[in-house]
Amino acid sequence: MDEPDQELSYASGVAGRPLLGHTIGTDLRRTIARHGAREALVEVASGRRWTYAELGRAVDEVARGLLAKGIGKGDRVGIWAPNCAEWVLVQYATARIGAILVNVNPAYRVHELAYVLRQAGIACLVSATRHRSSDYRGMIEQVRAESPELREVVYIGDPSWDGLVAAGAAVPPSQLAACEATLTADDPVNIQYTSGTTGFPKGATLSHHNILNNGYWVAETLGYTELDRVCLPVPFYHCFGMVMGNLGATSHGACIVIPAPAFDAATTLKAVQDERCTSLYGVPTMFIAELNHPDFGSYDLTSLRTGVMAGSPCPEEVMKRVVAEMHMSEVSICYGMTETSPVSTQTRRDDDLVHRTATVGRVLPHIEVKVADPASGVTVPRGTPGELCTRGYSVMLGYWAEPEHTAEVIDAARWMHTGDLAVMNDDGYLRIVGRIKDMIIRGGENVYPREIEEFLYSHPKIADVQVVGVPDEKYGEEIAACVILRDPDDPLTLEELAAFCRSRLAHYKVPRHLDLVDAFPMTVSGKVRKIELRERLARDLGQAPRAAGAPHLPRA
């Protein structure tokens, strides 16, 4: 008798209600009509506050100001600033008039800024004057001459911002309404540049339909209502802040709380306490910094019930502490990427601790996911590693002005190939076991860094860890553990680490190199730049690193 067919690694999200079919501007107006008197936005640093009715008026002033400056449907408006209230106003104002908001990474320098201004054809740039050590005004002046489409620069907190708002007084509300009436949910509304590790970044182009629905369904899965207050220390420049955060909140009438321009553990904890936030977002390194802050125990976090940990693999031990010590009993792990608006899978509020710590959840409503063999493209049986692919409303329109690069990641059937290695469990929940390009091949054995990292988080001396492959003449690659210690005065040796691993890990998974570091190189969105760790260790060992971004397996 033939063996029964194994269930394949495919799942589609079922929903009891349809997708939202309107634009971001329409959605904000609907929320204002329902919750106009409720608080919508709080900027802790300045003490400024807006109700939804006030937020709507402020957004309209900026939208009319942009129209007065000749910005209209399809024009690209860049924003280059840390988190602030004006960022939010520009986000919704551009959506109202059909302009395309281009998120410019706050960490960019002159060379990268010039590239984005040219590649996106930015007509108007809204910028901070400076942030930390970056003189934005000075850098913009260096590149204006080589940015022919840049007609207007507006600086936040500068007379030019007041001038933008004042100019809008000459534009009647009827003109704004007429402009908005020409928009559809499928129009592009946002370009986000992915954190490329080689060459220039690519601009993921997202529609109203993409990001409004994704923000809505993430927040719906978290159980948001108008009573929620969402603390957002994650950057607005990234989908985590502006989609899962801002759009998730405004689509449910919840309040956006901006704790600071950039992440600071103490400031975030104080904002949660003082503003009685019910939800807190962060990448794992943010939660680690908060939990390990020397004054952590002095903050009252009892208002919290939920939040999101995402952006990079979420360590089980950290997640357990967040649930137990930060009162976030309904905290969720989200998985996704900029090109998918961003979230594809999410854990649920009623999931047990195992599912909410050991997986990245199951597929969201109205989305499909599958795990496929990276070489053949064939969907693999459940329980088998392969490349995670996703399809549905959330998949980007494409990379801005780069159809060839778009075709490399979105196939003919509209599946987005994520480059992530995943395993789908029998119950449909997914585990991310690594990146195709991060997978280590040691002596012919496939080694997934995530598995080793999760185990090493249980070591009492380790606060944070990243595992990478480094060149080795005998095995091709060897395993290196880059470790941040809980207590720098309590050292850890390679022999001690290896002994800890041998009892629980196969011999070929035991790290052969230990690198003690104070911090990891990070992208502005909170992802560890493993490529930098690999390259530095390879240099230290006198070996040539694997070509940056070169996958071990061919793409489908």
Contact residues for 272 (Cβ-Cβ < 8 A; gap 6+): 231, 259, 280, 299, 301, 303, 304
- Neighbour count for residue 543 (Cβ, 10 Å): 15
Task: Output the domain CATH number for residue 471.
Answer: 3.30.300.30
Radius of gyration of the chain (CA): 23
- Residue 242 resides in a domain: yes
- Two tokens, residue 277: 């936030």
What's the rounded Cα separation, in Å, for the pair 431 and 73? 41
222 in the same domain as 172: yes
**DSSP structure class, residue 341:** S
Q: Is the peptide bond before 259 cis (omega within 30 degrees of 0)?
A: no
Which pLDDT score, from 0 to 100, does residue 444 have? 75
Which pLDDT score, from 0 to 100, does residue 89 have? 98
Residue 508 to residues 111, 447, 471: CA-CA distances in angstroms?
42, 8, 15
Contact residues for 113 (Cβ-Cβ < 8 A; gap 6+): 80, 104, 139, 140, 143
Helices of type H across 263-327: 265-275, 284-291, 316-325
- Residue 18 resides in a domain: no
Which pTM was predicted? 0.85
451 in the same domain as 374: no
- Residue 340 resides in a domain: yes
- Two tokens, residue 349: 């509020």
- Two tokens, residue 49: 């506050």
Residue 132 to residues 43, 61, 104, 488: CA-CA distances in angstroms?
18, 29, 16, 27
Query: Edge-to-edge strands of the sheet including 386-392?
Result: 10-12, 367-372, 386-392, 416-424, 430-435
- Neighbour count for residue 402 (Cβ, 10 Å): 15
Which pLDDT score, from 0 to 100, does residue 446 have? 76
Task: Give the CB-side neighbour count of residue 367, counting CA atoms within 13 A.
Answer: 27
Which pLDDT score, from 0 to 100, does residue 197 have? 42
471 in the same domain as 388: no
Which pLDDT score, from 0 to 100, does residue 523 have? 76
- Residue 60 resides in a domain: yes
209 in the same domain as 66: yes
**Which of 390, 424, 458 is the endpoint of a domain?**
424
* Beta strand segments in 444-520, E: 445-447, 462-472, 476-485, 513-516
410 in the same domain as 264: yes
Q: Which of 410, 475, 476, 456 is nearest to 205 (CA)?
A: 410
What's the rounded Cα separation, in Å, for the pair 395 and 110? 31
What's the rounded Cα separation, in Å, for the pair 203 and 214? 18
Task: Output the domain CATH number for residue 88.
Answer: 3.40.50.12780
pLDDT in tens, 181-235: 999 999 999 999 986 544 578 999 999 999 999 999 999 999 999 999 999 999 9
- Residue 260 resides in a domain: yes
Which pLDDT score, from 0 to 100, does residue 546 have? 43
* Beta strand segments in 162-314, E: 188-193, 203-207, 229-231, 255-258, 279-282, 306-309
- Two tokens, residue 452: 């080793």
Q: Which portions of the chain are predicted below pLDDT 70?
A: 1-4, 195-199, 313, 524-525, 543-556
- Residue 3 resides in a domain: no
- Residue 9 resides in a domain: no
- Residue 460 resides in a domain: yes
Q: Which of 164, 153, 152 is nearest to 81 (CA)?
A: 153
Domain range for 374 is: 24-424
527 in the same domain as 409: no
Q: Which of 433, 239, 427 is nearest to 351 (CA)?
A: 427
- Number of independent structural domains in the chain: 2
What's the rounded Cα separation, in Å, for the pair 129 and 154? 9
Buried-state track 328-362, b at ≥16 Cβ within 10 A, e below 16: bebbbbbbbbbbbbbbbbbbbeebeeebbbbbbbb
218 in the same domain as 338: yes
Contact residues for 265 (Cβ-Cβ < 8 A; gap 6+): 286, 289, 290, 293
- For residue 382, the SS3 value is coil
